[in-house]
């Protein structure tokens, strides 16, 4: 059990039978009343983020999770297969398990899968991925780096806003945390 006053980013908690990771924790000590901890929690399976406040003396079950570096190898219908880079063992997870991460998975990508015991409970993507633009409107002559944006469909099926000068076939760097264009590669 972990006391709320000792919460820190990255901890995994079990609340109401579900696993949550702490994105942000802030201890607040008002002039009147007891101290409390204001947190942002991310659901490990759905990726949903919620704000929750705990009394500083409140105890919550903390969970040990293991991160394993794995490589996305292929997709077969609704199943996605990953290989442990050390033991070469493979695991299959459903589309629902991946949540928003599905938009950035390309064969050969390295990810970290979070395990609670032997059960996969979450996935962590690299902060940036490089993907090819497969569909976008043609740019207009005179478009510059600063200016408007247009939607572009990437090779994984994700759609992101890119500058007007980006064309089909370009490789772009995308921030997986914010789903935003960073630069052309």
| Collapsed DSSP state (helix, strand, coil) of residue 176 | coil
Q: Which residue has the tokens 């919460």?
A: 7
Query: Global pTM?
Result: 0.72
Backbone angles phi, psi at 104, to 5 degrees: -125, 5
CATH number of the domain to which 151 belongs: 2.40.50.140
| Collapsed DSSP state (helix, strand, coil) of residue 21 | strand
- 119 and 137: one domain? no
Domain of 154? Answer: 128-184
Give the pLDDT confidence of 29-83 residue by residue, as tens digits: 988 888 999 999 988 777 788 999 999 899 999 888 888 999 999 999 889 999 9
State yes or no: pLDDT of 142 exceeds 90: no
Decide which of 124, 147, 170 is a domain's last residue.
124
**What pLDDT, on the 0 to 100 scale, is given for residue 81?**
95
- 57 and 82: one domain? no
Q: Of residues 147 and 133, which shows the higher confidence score?
A: 133
- 58 and 12: one domain? yes
Decide which of 37, 63, 89 is a domain's last residue.
63
Interatomic CA distance for residues 142 and 29, integer angstroms: 55
Decide which of 79, 94, 124 is a domain's last residue.
124
């Amino acid at each position: 059990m972990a006391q709320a006053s000792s919460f820190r980013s990255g901890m995994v908690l079990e609340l109401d039978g579900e696993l949550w990771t702490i994105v942000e924790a802030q201890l607040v000590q008002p002039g009147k009343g007891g101290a409390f901890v204001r947190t942002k929690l991310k659901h490990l399976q759905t990726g949903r983020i919620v704000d929750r406040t705990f009394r500083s003396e409140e105890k919550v079950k903390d969970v040990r999770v293991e991160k394993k570096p794995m490589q996305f190898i292929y997709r077969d219908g609704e199943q996605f297969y990953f290989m442990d880079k050390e033991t070469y063992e493979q695991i299959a997870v459903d589309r629902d398990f991946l949540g928003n991460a599905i938009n950035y998975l390309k064969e050969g990508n390295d990810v970290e899968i979070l395990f609670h015991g032997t059960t996969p409970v979450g996935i962590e993507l690299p902060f940036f991925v490089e993907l090819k633009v497969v569909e976008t409107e043609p740019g207009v002559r005179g478009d510059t780096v600063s200016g408007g944006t247009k939607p572009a469909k990437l090779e994984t099926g994700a759609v992101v806003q890119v500058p007007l000068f980006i064309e089909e076939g370009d490789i772009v760097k995308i921030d997986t945390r914010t789903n935003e264009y960073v630069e052309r590669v």
